[in-house]
């Protein structure tokens, strides 16, 4: 699976409702529901309820906060990947074939994954400054701020207040997540296709074609904390309400942020957009 099309980055995590839930902004009270076992639990408002709240507060335009820098970021990422691909064309690389022996096929997977990793890391570095701006534009909803009102003004403000490094806060966990995702997805899919799928099975080729897709979903769940930490670092201690207490302490590093979320049991906060269980502190009071 190409890291440029990672599912967990294109299923709502970069829209305002998904990001606000990541930073822990819950303006609406949880509601009582039942889980699959029939037990009563508290659920936080889902995507559509949250979106309606944003429209009520901010109008329909509120749903599109941060859209412009996000589109520019995606465009830069696509252009960069294309440029790197032209500089190091895939045609010069051997692709995995069912006729390859185990050692040969594994070597090809490693080479292809290394190529994908290089493209993704370069495109991530180039597009990350606009990603930071997009996150900050969206999170202003929390404190009703207007500090970041446009792409060019945001660039000037970040450079003035934080310097060049301000454009790359949260970059490291994003890159680590990309790298881990790529290697785990490609290698596990390769071993499944090699050892678990029998060539004598009539639908073997069909199963192999979907293995990476399925593994992409599974691995993206495991690497989601890197995305969360990276996005939180992009807005942490930048002068916006959502990046300051009580939403979060001023983190000294992304590792500090990771440890804090881990201690709070919040490493997967915002990972779901529809069925969102209320955190333990909010669910500690009786609901019967």
Q: What is the pLDDT along the chain (288 residues), one digit of tens a residue?
A: 454 445 444 444 557 888 888 998 888 888 887 777 778 888 888 888 899 999 999 999 999 999 999 999 999 999 999 999 888 887 655 555 554 555 667 888 899 999 999 999 999 999 999 999 999 999 999 999 999 988 999 999 999 999 999 999 999 999 999 999 999 999 998 888 887 776 666 677 777 777 888 888 889 989 999 999 999 999 999 999 999 988 889 999 999 999 999 999 999 998 887 778 877 554 433 433
The Cα–Cα gap between 55 and 57 comes to: 5
Q: What is the crossing angle of helices 171-191 and 102-143, to 10°?
A: 140
**Three-state secondary-structure class, residue 261:** helix
**Three-state secondary-structure class, residue 216:** helix
The stretches of the chain forming alpha helices (DSSP H) are 16-22, 47-58, 67-87, 102-143, 151-162, 171-191, 204-235, 254-264
pLDDT at position 119, please?
94
3-277: which CATH architecture? Alpha/alpha barrel (1.50)
Task: Tell me, rounded to whole angstroms, the distance of Cα 166 from its chain centroid.
Answer: 19
The Cα–Cα gap between 8 and 4 comes to: 11
The Cα–Cα gap between 65 and 264 comes to: 29
CA dihedral 162, 233, 180, 268 (to 10 degrees): -170
Residue in the block written with tokens 């895939």: 90
Inter-residue contact 25 to 243 (CB < 8 Å)? no
Inter-residue contact 211 to 192 (CB < 8 Å)? yes
The Cα–Cα gap between 227 and 179 comes to: 12
Inter-residue contact 210 to 189 (CB < 8 Å)? no
Inter-residue contact 233 to 251 (CB < 8 Å)? yes
pLDDT at position 198, please?
66
| 279 class by beta-carbon count within 10 Å (0-12 exposed, 13-18 middle, 19+ buried) | middle
The Cα–Cα gap between 239 and 216 comes to: 36
Q: What residue segments make up the domains of the chain, in order of their start?
A: 3-277
Inter-residue contact 42 to 282 (CB < 8 Å)? yes
**Three-state secondary-structure class, residue 15:** coil
pLDDT at position 288, please?
36
Inter-residue contact 260 to 249 (CB < 8 Å)? yes
């Amino acid at each position: 699976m190409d890291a440029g099309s990672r599912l967990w980055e294109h299923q709502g995590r970069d829209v305002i409702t998904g990001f606000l839930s990541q930073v822990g902004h819950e303006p609406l009270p949880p509601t009582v529901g039942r889980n699959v076992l029939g037990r009563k639990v508290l659920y936080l408002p889902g995507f559509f309820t949250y979106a309606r709240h944003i429209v009520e507060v901010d109008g329909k335009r509120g749903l599109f906060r941060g859209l412009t820098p996000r589109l520019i970021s995606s465009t830069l990422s696509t252009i960069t990947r294309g440029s790197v691909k032209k500089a190091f064309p895939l045609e010069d690389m051997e692709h995995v074939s069912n006729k390859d022996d185990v050692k040969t096929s594994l070597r090809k997977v490693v080479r292809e994954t290394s190529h994908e990793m290089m493209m993704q890391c370069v495109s991530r570095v180039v597009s990350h400054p606009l990603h930071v701006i997009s996150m900050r534009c969206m999170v202003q909803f929390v404190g009703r701020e207007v500090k970041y009102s446009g792409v060019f003004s945001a660039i000037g403000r970040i450079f003035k207040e934080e310097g060049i490094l301000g454009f790359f806060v949260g970059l490291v966990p994003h890159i680590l997540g990309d790298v881990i995702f790529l290697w785990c997805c490609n290698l596990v899919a390769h071993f499944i296709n090699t050892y678990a799928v029998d060539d004598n099975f009539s639908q073997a080729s069909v199963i192999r074609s979907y293995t990476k897709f399925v593994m992409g979903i599974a691995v993206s769940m495991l690497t989601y904390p890197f995305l969360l930490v990276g996005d939180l670092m992009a807005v942490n201690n930048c002068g916006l309400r959502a990046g300051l207490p009580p939403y979060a302490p001023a983190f000294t590093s992304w590792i500090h942020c990771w440890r804090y979320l881990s201690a709070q049991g919040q490493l997967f906060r915002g990972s779901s957009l529809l069925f969102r269980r209320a955190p333990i502190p909010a669910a500690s009071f009786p609901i019967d």
